Amino acid sequence: MKTLRKLIYTETLVSIGLVTLGFLTLFMFFDLVDELQNLGRNQGIDGSVYQIRHALLYVTLLLPNRLYELLPISVLIGTIFVMARLAQSSEYTILRTSGLDPWRALRLLMILGAAFVSLAFVIGDYVAPTADKASQLLKARFGGRITVGQTGAWLREKREALSIVVNVQSLSPNNDMQGIEIYEFDELGRVRSITQAANGQFESSGAWLLKSVKRSVFKEPSQPKADSQLAMPRQKAAGEPDRPSVVDRSNMEGWRWSTQISSEMVAAALLRPDRMRTVDLFTYIRHLNNNGQNAQRYEIEFWKKVFYPLSCLVMVILALPFAYLHMRSGGISAYVFAGVMIGISFFMMNNIAVYVGNLQQWQPWVAAAAPGLIYTAVSLAAFGWLVLRR
């Protein structure tokens, strides 16, 4: 078994490595071609011009996320190629006569798949988010800022009787906030204060240090004097207009605002949720739920981050039946092409399920796990039909 394990693992790892290298090279070429149009156009905050070295660095920082997305497909294609080649050369028949029964072969491939599950989790949860944030900051250095849409990011925070709504237009290359607006409402929905700041910084204590601040505080008007005869406040007469609120306006160079909205939460609202760490997604979901906001989209992305690495395990199970097919010489290319189509269909279904689940208000874990469960059922059905029955 040690010899069989070494043979299968070596062949499979080499094949998966070559397929992954080919995919990454292809996508890096496409990304680089897409970045060539920006050469010499954008000027950085330090006066430097966007050059080919910046473009190469940017597309290199995109590779970890590309690897995370392509790893299940690469595992499927590489494993199918090895299984089909062993079947074509009758080597797998020899392995079967040497004691490699279907369940033992399945166990060997599942161990290999579990290793790729761990690799996908590490890349998707640690390497890819860090590299993607660095790439966004690099683009912001020459593009000016990181933002989403025309209005930026909107966040909400509840604080005792106050409901606070925060708008951040963008993030600078130095991870500073730009275009900040803070609205405070009381329990009746009336505006209590409006704070506007040109920019702000995150402090380690959790507070925000705002600069160039304009603050307007709305105060209740003074109560009318009581009627001396009835010793009660005078009632407003019919048609009498409401008394205007008193507005206390102030301009400050700097103002420290205490809040529970962290830099990760602002980044989560401005960046794509699928590029975040699982822990940061979970923290942001709790923040949304605690403040009465809809977290459906982020919950689906959270469960997708949980289940997506398991796709590598599904792919190796799906590739095992190819070892039990009887094929003629030259027929291996058709099975590799079938593996490519299966991998593309899985990638498309995995992305479509997120949007459909969000629109149809499915349970988040159902929307995220549905593609993997469907392909697991298909792979086990193929394994049972081709291997156990035939």
Residue-range domain boundaries for the chain: 2-144+300-389, 147-221+244-270
pTM of the predicted model as reported, rounded to 2 decimal places: 0.74
- The alpha carbon dihedral of 95, 96, 101, 105 has a sign of positive
pLDDT for 235:
53
Q: Is the pLDDT of residue 223 over 60?
A: no
pLDDT digits (tens, 9 = 90+) for 157-175: 887 778 888 988 877 767 7
Mean pLDDT of the 124-139 span = 85
More confident of the two residues 15 and 147: 15
pLDDT for 228:
45
pLDDT digits (tens, 9 = 90+) for 305-345: 888 898 898 888 888 888 877 655 556 777 778 777 887 88
**Confidence grade of residue 17 (pLDDT, cut at 50, 70, 90):** very high
Q: Is-contact 308 69, C-beta < 8 A? A: no
Q: Is the pLDDT of residue 44 over 70?
A: no
pLDDT for 232:
47
pLDDT for 356:
84
**Confidence grade of residue 144 (pLDDT, cut at 50, 70, 90):** low
Q: Is the pLDDT of residue 20 over 90?
A: yes
Of 69-73, 111-115, 270-274, which gets the smallest average pLDDT? 270-274
Q: Is the pLDDT of residue 45 over 80?
A: no
Q: Is the pLDDT of residue 222 over 70?
A: no
Mean pLDDT of the 121-131 span = 90
pLDDT for 214:
92
Return mean pLDDT, the chain: 81
pLDDT digits (tens, 9 = 90+) for 352-361: 887 888 788 7
Q: Is the pLDDT of residue 46 over 70?
A: no
Q: Is the pLDDT of residue 84 over 80?
A: yes
Q: Is the pLDDT of residue 265 over 50?
A: yes
* Helical packing angle, 311-319 and 102-122, nearest 10°: 150
Residues in Cβ contact with 265 at an 8 Å cutoff, skipping those fewer than 6 apart: 155, 283, 284, 287
